[in-house]
Amino acid sequence: MTLRLNLVIPVYNEEQYIGACLEAVVNQVRVPDEVIVVDNGSTDATRTVVDGFADRLPLTILSESRQGAMYARDTGFDAADGEVICRIDADTLLDPHWCERVEQYMESNPELDAIAGSQFFYELPWKGLQERQRRAALNTHMNTEPSVTDALSGNNMAIRKTAWEAAKPHLVGRPELHEDMDLSMALKKTKSLLWYAPRVFADVSARRFRSSRKELLQYGRTMMDTAVAHDDQELVNALKKNKYAIGLNFAILWALEQNYDPDTDRIVPFFLRKDKKVRVSPVTTR
């Protein structure tokens, strides 16, 4: 039996990225049965770019007026009618075998409820070095077997429709929380089986770290807020224990992105940049 795959992509003012994202979907060895793009109130040319793929993909475009990534995700997931819901972001660039591997894992392992894929950042300094590191990472990922995990990331994941329906009553469902963590912790309450599958590989932009320092700190706080909302003391303790390591990692990436011009692949002090590209965090009520 071949599973039906729905691919859900929430978008908000993504004219810069959504074209390349959908092009990578077109190039899949196994194309999704339906690509559901959920427009969360875009005011730029996002919709025009997406419409340009109508004759190349089995495309459905939905609108979600409630602002926030959680609402757009839920609208897309609820509309999906297949056995497996795949979920990526507008800046995700899928490996050509991504859908094929998702289908293989899900078909071969009926007990498996969801998959978290591996990823590599692009739009970081020193493209030559980054490409060498990417090739090394990809080689490692393709030779690594799946392992059990308890965390999904919305930029690279797949979940059975039945697991989504079982998890929904356990979602806290507040847009100011971390929607991926909320879903992961809801799945934990249903005792769902989640795998981290390195072969389900994608590239994702490091643009999150172009957010303002205030927004990035807010994003970091959403992780703790979500753990508290689920009353998961084990996770609360783990986040407290690792807060300095997490903060240092965020600080390094933030400093790099604030002073890096991806168009020229040069480090340019932020105050000298004419085109100051700023990232608006999706974990907000806009």
Q: Convert the pLDDT of each residue in 244-267 to its tens digit.
A: 888 888 888 888 888 888 778 788
In this structure, the strands spanning 114-122 and 34-39 are unpaired
Query: Cβ distance 203 to 93 under 8 Å?
Result: yes
- At 244 the pLDDT is 86
Alpha carbon distance 179, 71 (integer Å): 9
Residue type at position 104:
Q
Question: For the residues 59-75, what does the mean pLDDT come to?
Answer: 96
Return the minimum-mean-pLDDT range out of 26-30, 106-110, 216-220, 233-237: 216-220
Q: What local confidence, expressed as pLDDT, does residue 1 receive?
A: 54
Confidence of residue 270 (pLDDT cuts 50, 70, 90): low
Q: Residues 49, 17: contact at Cβ < 8 Å?
A: no
Beta strands 147-149 and 194-205: pairing type? Answer: antiparallel
3-class secondary structure, 277: coil
pLDDT of residue 284: 43
Question: Which residues lie below 8 Å from residue 164, measured CB to CB, with a gap of 6+?
Answer: 77, 85
Cα separation, 238 vs 253, in Å, equals 22
Rg value, the chain, Cα: 18
Q: Is the pLDDT of residue 190 over 50?
A: yes
Q: What is the mean pLDDT of residues 126-132?
A: 89
Q: Can you point out the beta strands (E) in 64-218?
A: 84-87, 93-94, 114-122, 147-149, 157-160, 194-205
Q: Residue 257: its pLDDT value, please?
A: 83
- Label residues 212-247 b or e (16+ Cβ within 10 Å = b): eeebbebbbebbbbbbebbebeebbeebeeeeeeee
Q: Name the residue with higher pLDDT: 118 or 216.
A: 118
Q: Is the pLDDT of residue 277 over 60?
A: no
The whole-number average pLDDT for the span 102-129 is 94
* Its pTM surpasses 0.85: yes
